[in-house]
Amino acid sequence: MKSEEEAGRAVEQYADLVRRICMIHLKNYEDSEDIFQTVFLKYVLRSEPFDSQEHEKAWIIRVTVNACRDLLKSFFRSRTVSLDQLIERPQDMPEDHSDILEAVLELPARFRDVVYLHYYEGYTAPEIGRILKKNPNTVYTLLARARQLLKTKLEGVIDDE
Amino acid sequence: MSNRIREAFDDVRAEKELKEHTKEYLRRKVYRRNRTLWTVPVRAAAAAAFLFLIALGGGSWLYLAPTAYISIDINPSLELGVNRFDRIVSVEGFNDDGVRLAERLDIKYMDYDDALEEILSDQSVEDYLAGDALLSVTVVCDNEAKNSEMLEHVENCTSSHSSVSCHSGSTGEMHDAHEAGLSFGKYRAYLELRGLEPDITPDDIRDLSMREIQDLIDSLSGEGRESSDENTDVPDSTGVSDDTGGEDGHHSEEHEGGQENRHRHNR
């Protein structure tokens, strides 16, 4: 088990990362709190040490993504999430970049993680494959397809690379 | 596009309260499980309980600690512990009769005057005193004023009975008595007896009544006088001894008792 100091440091270090993953999967703040608690409790209780900072970060990403998926899959949620909520724009979305964020969030769920991890966290397709336990080729395909979808959505707004 | 996406995500930050809630959750769930228990009211209650226990402990010590002892010896040997409020806080029997009497008596927390009355009116004690028994009451208290006050009380209490002797002593002597396994009253008699018969041990007299011990003392002091006579004039002393036997059968019996006890000791 990790010390309270280590836990505090991890919360400070990875809060933004976990928050962003929550944002791309979940629609409300209460669910994010649940995910934060789940992820950091798992972190604190994990007994094996991490090989490196990178290992630790990748672990946090995988646990967060899985926690979000579990939450969305849960019976209670599947019965109580309203249609309105599903099409609702996340309330905490920043105004300045709302168009691009909106575009990313409107992507089907399987694209969102790879877009975030690739474009924001800078992971390569094989790295994303390792983190999300997906075939690198699948990641390449997902990325290409996501890029395509975003381009269509934001036509005229984005200068493609 | 990547720049735009990066900038867009860069604006998304974990709220301060989200981090605080998470830390608080971990603190509650994993760390300081015990510390959160110790809230101010709980701490105050614990402190109050602790003080109460201390006060209770101190109070019971004040009340339950004997500051004086009264040793009562007939054949039953009893020792009563008396606290600073003149109440009986312990009743201990020092021989079989004493233990039986202590079990039967319900004198704990009584005033020692009343307790003495109660003991003196006990059927077995009355039977002893109606016979030829000797009652010895010994008061032990290191406070001299208290000691004489108690002795006076005890003498008043027992004044209606004949053949009662009252003494007082110190706790040091009483400890010696306890080491020898005797009540203090009997130990005093033992010391007197040992002055006459140095070989006598506490075991020899433990089960004797005060009357028997007193008779032994009397007979030994009598024998001392007789043996000095014997040394000077043998035929005369035999005559004297015969005479005494003839004049006072009781005394002769005591003499035999003394012999018997010494005999038991020699074995």
Higher per-residue confidence, A61 vs B134: A61
* Sign of the alpha-carbon dihedral angle for A122, A127, A131, A135: positive
Domain boundaries, given as residue ranges, for chain A: 1-92, 93-156
> What's the confidence (pLDDT) of residue B267?
33
Mean per-residue pLDDT over chain B, rounded:
77
Task: Please give, rounded to a whole number of angstroms, the shortest distance from the CA of B38 to a CA of chain A.
Answer: 19
> What's the confidence (pLDDT) of residue B257?
36
> What's the confidence (pLDDT) of residue B234?
38
The answer to whether residues A71 and A26 touch, using CB atoms and an 8 Å cutoff, is yes
Given a cut of 90, is residue A41 above it in pLDDT? Answer: yes
Report CB contact under 8 Å: B26, A96: no
Instruction: Write down the number of H helices and E strands in chain A.
Output: 9, 0
Strand partners, B169: B140
- Measuring CA to CA, which residue among A43, A87, A94, A86 is closest to residue A64? A43
Tokens for A5? 């100091």
- Measuring CA to CA, which residue among A20, A90, A91 is closest to residue B5? A20
Chain A residues in contact with B23 by the CB 8 A cut-off are 7-8, 11
- The CB-based long-range contact list for B178-183 (8 Å cut-off, 24+ gap) reads B181/B94, B181/B206, B182/B77, B182/B94, B182/B206, B183/B71, B183/B72, B183/B73, B183/B77, B183/B78, B183/B79, B183/B94, B183/B98
Whether B23 contacts chain A with CB within 8 A: yes
Given a cut of 70, is residue B250 above it in pLDDT? Answer: no
A78-96 pLDDT tens trace: 555 554 555 544 545 555 6
User: pLDDT band for position B223 (50/70/90)?
Assistant: low
- Cα–Cα distance for residue pair B148/B125, rounded to 1 Å: 25
> What's the confidence (pLDDT) of residue A18?
94
- Secondary structure of A96-136 in the HEC alphabet? CCHHHHHHHHHCCHHHHHHHHHHHHCCCCHHHHHHHHCCCH
Task: Please give, rounded to a whole number of angstroms, the shortest distance from the CA of B39 to a CA of chain A.
Answer: 20
- Cα–Cα distance for residue pair A122/A134, rounded to 1 Å: 17
- Cα–Cα distance for residue pair B32/B46, rounded to 1 Å: 18
The answer to whether residues B207 and B74 touch, using CB atoms and an 8 Å cutoff, is no
- Cα–Cα distance for residue pair B82/B100, rounded to 1 Å: 20
A84-134 pLDDT tens trace: 555 544 545 555 667 888 888 888 888 999 999 999 999 999 999 999 999
Domain boundaries, given as residue ranges, for chain B: 15-62, 196-266
The answer to whether residues A50 and A62 touch, using CB atoms and an 8 Å cutoff, is no
Report CB contact under 8 Å: A37, B25: yes
DSSP state of B164: E
Strand partners, B88: B82
Chain B residues in contact with A111 by the CB 8 A cut-off are none
Q: What is the mean pLDDT of residues B42-53?
A: 91
Question: CATH top-level class for A93-156?
Answer: mainly alpha
Chain B residues in contact with A37 by the CB 8 A cut-off are 22, 25-26, 29
- In single-letter form, the type of residue at position B136 comes to S
ipTM of the complex: 0.82
Strand partners, B69: B81, B140
Whether A5 contacts chain B with CB within 8 A: no
Whether B24 contacts chain A with CB within 8 A: no
Q: What is the mean pLDDT of residues A7-27?
A: 92
Report CB contact under 8 Å: B26, A100: no
